[in-house]
């Protein structure tokens, strides 16, 4: 017999799960939300990922000349922690205030398809639920590097946010969006940063002009690069430093680096360890992500998986859309699916941000599109004074349009306010607004959106 029975149990406080729990609770459904750590109320976005890291990026950008780097960094960490504490408390209150929602601390594991056991120390609670939502997210993946596991100088993207003191020399392993953001952030804080990536080119999935612009930006900010090499070992040298050995490859010689801190930014893995998915009969893929269909249903009827744990794009706004899909399954017509998603944007928070949606030039060519392309360096866009006003003219704006229909196929915005303007371009793609309409529209002045007037006027057949 179960200790409690509820309509829905949500495992994890991620964006999709907490929003679903609140909506169902306010609609009169009985809901239990289980979270193993009180430090994760509200989910990873507000506690360790999106919000705190972007707060640190913002603080790093604002370090005045002449201010002691360590003092500024320590103050930034304090402001980060204050912000996270307020958001965590508010997120907890938002569910605690809903009478139909029960909040439970502890580690959950399936003991049956619709039965979950929660343990907290010696306490044990069994929950029966008609519907189970797995929302446990992901955690940083730890590559198998000799000496890394036992090194006091090795960090992941969570632990590095509280490194003490500010590392004078930081080695970032991995050139994905996390590695790039942290490299830029710590360079602004005052660290000497070296980024190591096993690819021969930085950002191999991007057009070369975009990748080169990103590398140029980071180089101007003091970041050094070792490409085409992998970390062979990490060896603590005593005190608070380590020797990092970059193994030789076809494109790079063996290199040794001295570091006060090493960030392993080499991807993430699903947080499903000891969750008992096999006991429930829930299928996972070869990487451990929960397998779902287009309605986020798992292999077990009545069990859903949402957010990062289902292996989709790891963005908070995708998790929020997952909530809409599952809510529609439980209370609506059940017509919403993941296939409804069109033109989903993304942003890497460099300084300035790099935002993308749809196809880049290389992808459009590979897919056989007949397309037009327009590219312009931000510094050369006369109709876009805002970057000059704020003193940040790095980057470029690039738009791809279908040569026959004039529809936007994709855009790359590497400029001030890119994280905002990309949403406008995404909306244009979803609604069928043409490149000509964007080009001829009126935008506020001075704004970054004005770049569309000038850049789109330069659309021409791709070479």
Instruction: For residue 247, list its beta bridge partners.
Output: 230
Q: What is the C-alpha to C-alpha distance for residues 223 and 241, in angstroms, rounded to an integer? A: 19
Is 147 annotated in some ligand binding site? no
**Distance from chain centroid for Cα 273:** 21
- Let me know: does 171 contact 48? Beta carbons within 8 Å: no
Is 267 annotated in some ligand binding site? yes
Is 410 annotated in some ligand binding site? no
Is 181 annotated in some ligand binding site? yes
Q: Is the peptide bond before 165 cis (omega within 30 degrees of 0)?
A: yes
Neighbour-count burial for 177-216, b at 16+ CB within 10 Å, e otherwise = bbbbbbbbbbbbbbbbbbbbbbeebbbeebbeebbebbbe
Catalytic residue flag (residue 445): yes
List phi, psi (to 5°) of 270: -65, 140
Is 177 annotated in some ligand binding site? yes
Is 312 annotated in some ligand binding site? no
Is 17 annotated in some ligand binding site? no
Identify the CA nearest to 315 among candidates 177, 411, 155.
Answer: 177
Q: What does DSSP assign to residue 323?
A: H
**Structure tokens belonging to residue 339:** 């296939």
List phi, psi (to 5°) of 445: -135, 135
Neighbours of 122 (CB within 10 A): 5
Is 323 annotated in some ligand binding site? no
- Let me know: does 408 contact 399? Beta carbons within 8 Å: yes
Q: Is the peptide bond before 348 cis (omega within 30 degrees of 0)?
A: no
3-state secondary structure of 245: strand
Is 121 annotated in some ligand binding site? no
Is 174 annotated in some ligand binding site? yes
Is 372 annotated in some ligand binding site? no
> Which of 58, 162, 369, 445 is flagged as catalytic?
445
Binding site listing for FAD: 54, 308
Binding site listing: 54, 174-181, 267, 308
Binding site listing for NAD(+): 174-181, 267
Catalytic positions are 445
């Amino acid at each position: 017999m179960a200790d409690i029975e509820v309509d829905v149990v949500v495992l994890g406080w991620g964006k999709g799960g907490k929003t679903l729990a609140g909506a169902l609770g306010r609609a009169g459904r009985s809901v239990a939300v289980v979270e193993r750590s009180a430090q994760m109320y509200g989910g990873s976005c507000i506690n360790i990922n999106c919000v705190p890291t972007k707060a640190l990026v913002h603080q790093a950008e604002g370090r005045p000349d002449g201010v002691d780097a360590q003092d500024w960094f320590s103050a930034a960490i304090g402001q980060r922690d204050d912000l996270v504490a307020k958001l965590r408390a508010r997120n907890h209150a938002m569910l605690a205030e809903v009478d139909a929602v029960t909040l439970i601390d502890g580690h959950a594991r399936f003991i049956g398809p619709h039965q979950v056991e929660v343990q907290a120390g010696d306490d044990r609670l069994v929950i029966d639920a008609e519907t189970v939502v797995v929302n446990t997210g992901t955690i940083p993946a730890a590559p198998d590097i000799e000496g890394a596991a036992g090194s006091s100088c090795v960090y992941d993207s969570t632990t590095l946010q509280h490194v003490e003191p500010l590392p004078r020399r930081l080695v970032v392993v991995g050139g994905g969006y996390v590695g790039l953001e942290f490299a830029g952030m710590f360079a602004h804080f005052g660290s000497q940063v070296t980024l190591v990536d096993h690819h021969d080119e930085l950002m191999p999935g991007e057009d070369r002009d975009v990748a080169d612009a990103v590398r140029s930006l980071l180089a101007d900010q003091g970041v050094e690069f070792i490409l085409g090499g992998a970390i062979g070992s990490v060896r603590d040298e005593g005190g608070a430093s380590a020797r990092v050995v970059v193994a030789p490859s076809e494109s790079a010689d063996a290199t040794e680096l001295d570091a006060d801190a090493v960030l392993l930014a080499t991807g993430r893995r699903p947080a499903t360890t000891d969750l008992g998915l096999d006991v429930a009969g829930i299928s996972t893929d070869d990487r451990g992500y929960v397998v779902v269909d287009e309605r986020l249903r798992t292999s077990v009827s009545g069990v859903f998986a949402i957010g990062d744990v289902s292996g989709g794009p790891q963005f908070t706004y995708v998790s929020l859309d997952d909530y809409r899909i599952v809510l529609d399954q439980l209370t609506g017509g059940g017509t919403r699916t993941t296939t409804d998603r069109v033109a989903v944007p993304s942003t890497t928070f460099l300084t300035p941000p790099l935002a993308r949606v749809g196809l880049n030039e290389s992808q459009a060519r590979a897919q056989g599109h007949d397309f037009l392309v327009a590219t312009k360096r931000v510094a050369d866009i006369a109709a876009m004074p805002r970057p000059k006003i704020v003193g940040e003219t790095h980057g470029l704006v690039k738009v791809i349009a279908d040569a026959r229909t004039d529809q936007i196929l994709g855009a790359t915005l590497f400029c001030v306010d890119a994280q905002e303007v990309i949403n406008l371009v995404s909306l244009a793609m979803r609604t069928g607004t043409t490149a000509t309409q964007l080009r001829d529209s009126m935008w506020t002045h001075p704004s970054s959106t004005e770049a569309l007037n000038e850049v789109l006027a330069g659309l021409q057949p791709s070479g």
